[in-house]
Structures are given as C-alpha cells and as structure tokens.
Structure 1
Amino acid sequence: MANNKSELKIKAIENGTVIDHITANKTLHILKILGLPDNETKNITVAMNVSSKELGRKDILKIENRELGHEELNQVALIAPEATINIIRDFKPIKKNKIVLPKKITSIIKCTNPKCITNYENEPITTIFNVVTENPPVVRCHYCEKLIKTEDIYKQFE
C-alpha cells in the first residue's frame, strides 16, 4: 500500500485582507464583530486551530475583495491582539502590519456594570473604554471605571 499524503491548501486571494496569527478559536468572534458574512462580501476563508510555531495553535481569516479600515482593525485587536494584517493586491502582500490595540475603544463592547450610565436605555451614551493592558486586553470604562477583563470581552461576542 502506497503512503499517500493529503494536503489541504487554502486558495490565495487576488485582492483583500488576510488576518493571520489570530488567537485559536476566536475567528468566529471576529466574523461577528465585522458583520460577516454579509451580502456584499464574497469568498471568506476561515482556518481554525491550525498549527503555529509562534502560538502553538492559531486561526487565519481571508476576506476577498475587502480591505479592512482603521476602525475595523481596532475591533479585531480587541479579540486578537497577536494578529497580523496582510493587505493583498494582485496576489501579493503589499502591506503587512502587526495589529495595534488603540489606547481608547469606543462603541465595540458594553460595560458589564449594570448601573453604568451607558446601560440606561434613556441615556444614549456611546461606550468609551481606556485600555489598561494590551495582551491580554483589559479595559476600564470611562464613565464608571469598571475593569472589563479579557474573558468578559470575549463573552460579548459569543
């Protein structure tokens, strides 16, 4: 019997964004944050829990024909602080950057303090969080100063 090796290859994208080094099993959170899949974005490729020399296990997300904007990258940084972003044009990476969590996060998550002013229906206040630590991400509510830990951030995207 011959020793046949099977290899799964993920098709290269012509144009778009590749997010690599995503914390293992967090890609579905990122898809939810980005509102994907949607009617306009075609060909989204997800590789989950794959081997990585650097991280042990990681996820990879390829979004064809869409370059993520600054605000979207801030959202991704909250879930995957180790991620790298590759902008692809004509099948070649033209820009590769490590994701950077901004010092301030707005409108992405909610405060877990039920008494925080941002959680009152009568008060249309945008949530603002100051980043305390980047990896793992921990943020502090600008209004009530409640610390929101990484696991509480992840729960909001489940």
Structure 2
Amino acid sequence: MTQDNKLQVEAIKRGTVIDHIPAQVGFKLLSLFRLTETDQRITIGLNLPSGELGRKDLIKIENTFLTDDQINQLAVYAPHATVNRIDDYNVVAKIAPTLPDRIDRVLTCPNSNCISRTEPVFSSFAVKQRQDELHLKCKYCEKEFAHSVVMAND
C-alpha cells in the first residue's frame, strides 16, 4: 500500500498473488513458467516500492492456483517471494517457496551440445546449494552450472 493506503495493484477476488519478486524478475517468471497461457486476467506490478527489497515486482492471476511444485520452483528465481492464495478477496494461505531438489521444463541448458537443446525432451536440472551459491546440474549432459549462468541463458 502507498502512504495514503491505496492499493497500487488492484485486488483480486480469487486466485494467486506472487509477491516480493525481485525487481526486473516478474516478466521472466511470466515467460519461464508460461503463466500467460491462460484466458484469466493477469495483473503485473513492476518496480513497486518495497520496504524489504527497495523495489519489487508482483504478479496476480485470477482464478488460477499454482501447484506446490510450481511454487517451490519459484525459489530458484525469487527466493524471498511469497505466494498468496486468495478467496473472496481474503488471503487463505500464504506460502514461502522452498528450494526444490529438481527443476523441470523451465530452463534451457547452457551447453550448446546438450541433447536437451535438439531432442524433444523436457529440460531437467538437479538443484544444489554450495555455500552461498546455487548450482544447477543438467540431467542429460551432466554438466553443472552456476545459477547465474543458467539464468543468463534464458
């Protein structure tokens, strides 16, 4: 909310709100997770003021609820995001994504020789936490990449 207590992005009656997305990541999430492949209304807030992040993105999708797998895969891109399930304009569940063991069908392997780039298979990466850095290991070529390398590839 702003100083005069007005919502900057309109409330939804029923659906999902993904909040606390790092600024400049909202559009990437829409694309990677194919969230726009629906006929439901989607409201996007970009570079909104945030006490915690300075600036944040926000996505609201009416009449759509993410699966637990989808929610947890968000942690790779937005580790501090919250996913709110809305019913009758009220938050009925507030979920913090947890880092999954695998992320499937979302990313592209940066290895140009990987079969996932040319064969009709879905991408699949094992998620590994190393000290303060996230690494992703491709199921097919078995190469491991820093999170930032895979993100820059998509």
Common fold by TM > 0.5: yes
Residue type of the alignment partner of 2:14? N
Q: In structure 1, how many angstroms separate the alpha carbons of the residues matched to 2:133 and 2:55?
A: 16
- Give 1:130's aligned residue: 126
Q: In structure 2, how many angstroms separate the alpha carbons of the residues matched to 1:118 and 1:31?
A: 22
- Deviation (angstroms), 1:136: 5.8
Percent identity, aligned pairs only, is: 37
Q: In structure 2, how many angstroms separate the alpha carbons of the residues matched to 1:136 and 1:60?
A: 25
- Give 1:103's aligned residue: 101
SS of aligned partner of 1:109: coil
Q: After the TM superposition, which segments of 4 or more aligned residues of structure 1 sit over 6 Å from their partners? A: none
The number of aligned residues is 150
Q: In structure 2, how many angstroms separate the alpha carbons of the residues matched to 1:24 and 1:130?
A: 26
- Give 2:62's aligned residue: 64
Q: In structure 2, how many angstroms separate the alpha carbons of the residues matched to 1:21 and 1:137?
A: 20
Q: In structure 2, how many angstroms separate the alpha carbons of the residues matched to 1:87 and 1:147?
A: 34
- 2:143 maps to which of 142, 146, 151: 146
- Deviation (angstroms), 1:93: 0.4
RMSD between aligned residues:
2.5
Unaligned runs of 5+ in 2: none
- Give 1:15's aligned residue: 14
Question: TM-score, normalized by length of structure 2?
Answer: 0.81
SS of aligned partner of 2:86: strand
Contact 1:33 1:75 in 2 (8 A): no
Q: In structure 2, how many angstroms separate the alpha carbons of the residues matched to 1:113 and 1:38?
A: 28
Q: In structure 1, how many angstroms separate the alpha carbons of the residues matched to 2:23 and 2:70?
A: 19
Change (3 A) 1:39 1:145: closer
- Deviation (angstroms), 1:137: 4.0
- Deviation (angstroms), 1:108: 1.6
- Deviation (angstroms), 1:56: 2.1
- Give 1:31's aligned residue: 30
Residue type of the alignment partner of 1:129? F
Question: TM-score, normalized by length of structure 1?
Answer: 0.79
Contact 1:106 1:129 in 2 (8 A): yes
Contact 2:65 2:85 in 1 (8 A): yes
Change (3 A) 1:51 1:91: same
